[in-house]
């Protein structure tokens, strides 16, 4: 039986108050960073405080507000791998496609990805296993990360607390794909799973199913 305990540190950072998650197994030093949506210095400060070293920087999708810290983190931790789905990988260095020009009037870009997780891939953080779920809609390469052992789903901008969903009025987004992805998540993820979204408070699959009448 897997007795591994997952620790989660949430930093709310950046211009659009993005949830940056630091994950690590209890007793281990290696960690993951999910969606570093603010300057690297605040993330590095927290990593130093917790005595952690990132092995992966996982980007749930390619919009600028989810990877502002990539350049600084990669400079500080060159061995940390940047991961993003292949459908969104070209957004990292492209300020037009990642929407930073239109939202901020300036370019935000990232070093290229080192790895491209695909649907149903299993990523391992020490003894913790996370399933990659491709959930297009908000962007073509949006992904969620599901850890069965800890009843946790990191949903990016697919779904938020209290009935919120990702925007689909952006270039390359699709309302139909988003709805299909939400229905997919609701059909395969247990009701008691905690959702850790890209913005805002935590919620659960059961609560969002009820709000969405599903």
Find, among 111, 109, 112, the residue nearest to 94 by Cα. 109
List the pLDDT tens digit at each of the 214 positions of the chain. 478 899 999 999 999 999 999 999 999 999 999 999 999 999 999 999 999 999 999 999 999 999 999 999 999 999 999 999 999 999 999 999 999 999 999 999 999 999 999 999 999 999 999 999 999 999 999 999 999 999 999 999 999 999 999 999 998 999 999 999 999 999 999 999 999 999 999 999 999 999 988 6
- What's the pLDDT at 189? 98
Q: Write down how long the chain is.
A: 214
Distances (CA, A) of 204 to 17, 28, 42, 178, 192: 20, 27, 28, 18, 6
Distances (CA, A) of 30 to 25, 56, 93, 169, 177: 8, 9, 27, 38, 35
Candidates 3.60.15.10, 3.90.950.20, 1.10.760.10, 3.20.20.150; CATH matching 6-211: 3.60.15.10
Q: What pTM was estimated for this model as a whole? A: 0.96
- Longest Cα–Cα distance of the chain, Å, equals 51
Tokens matching residue 188: 């395969």
Tokens matching residue 184: 């997919």
Spans of all domains in the chain: 6-211
- What's the pLDDT at 214? 64
Separation of alpha carbons 193 and 214, rounded Å? 16
């Amino acid at each position: 039986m897997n007795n591994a305990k997952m620790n989660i540190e949430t930093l709310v950072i950046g211009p659009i108050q993005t949830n940056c998650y630091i994950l690590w197994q209890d007793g281990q030093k290696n960690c993951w960073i999910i969606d570093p949506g603010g300057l690297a210095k605040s993330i590095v400060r927290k990593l130093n405080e917790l005595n952690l070293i990132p092995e992966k920087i996982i980007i749930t999708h390619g919009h600028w507000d989810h990877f502002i810290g990539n350049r600084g983190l990669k400079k500080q931790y060159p061995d940390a791998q940047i991961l993003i789905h292949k459908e969104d990988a070209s957004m990292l260095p492209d300020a037009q496609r990642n929407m930073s020009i239109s939202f901020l009037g300036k370019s935000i870009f990232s070093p290229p990805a080192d790895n491209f997780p695909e649907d149903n891939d299993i990523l391992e953080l020490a003894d913790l296993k996370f399933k990659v779920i491709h959930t297009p809609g908000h962007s073509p390469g949006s992904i969620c990360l599901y850890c069965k052992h800890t009843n946790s789903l990191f949903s990016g901008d697919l779904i938020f607390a209290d009935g919120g969903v990702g925007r689909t009025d952006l270039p390359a987004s699709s309302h139909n794909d988003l709805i299909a992805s939400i229905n997919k998540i609701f059909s395969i993820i247990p009701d008691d799973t905690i959702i850790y979204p890209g913005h805002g408070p935590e919620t659960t699959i059961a609560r969002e199913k009820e709000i969405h009448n599903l």
